[in-house]
Amino acid sequence: MTLSALGKMIAVALKANCRCWKDRRKKNPVPFIDKILTFISQDLRAQVVQERDSARHLSLQKELELKELQARLEKKVKILFQFTVILRLIVFGVRLKNLRQRARLLSRRKLAGSIWKRRSRDLPGN
């Protein structure tokens, strides 16, 4: 019920009340006013229940959305962690490959240096 409808009902109740007091034949106008007030209070209760249910529904909906977002975030964090592990393994593999190549190069240089030393020592005139 809107406020304007509520105002109209109160105006009708007041007019009826005035008529009842003016009309001496009607001894007790209270039951009529009581019925109107009961109707208004029931309508207001229904509105409160509807608003409460609506708020509860929105609250539950937001809670479900939050849980869904948390699940998506956890999934993306897990994927990111796996990705960083893979990248670290790739970087480690590249470094290991470079270190092995460097070790081979140094061993070749050392071997070549020792060969030249032997050859120069073995050359006549030294």
**Sign of the C-alpha dihedral computed for residues 81, 83, 86 and 92 taken in this order:** negative
32 contacts 20 by C-beta, under 8 angstroms: yes
Distant-in-sequence, close-in-space partners of 105: CB < 8 Å, separation ≥ 6: none
Domain ranges of the chain: 3-122
Tell me the pLDDT tens digit for each residue of 97-116: 888 998 998 888 887 777 66
Span between the terminal Cα atoms of the chain, in Å: 119
Task: State whether residue 124 is helix, strand or coil.
Answer: coil
Task: Considering only residues 98 and 35, tell me which one the structure prediction assigns the higher pLDDT.
Answer: 98
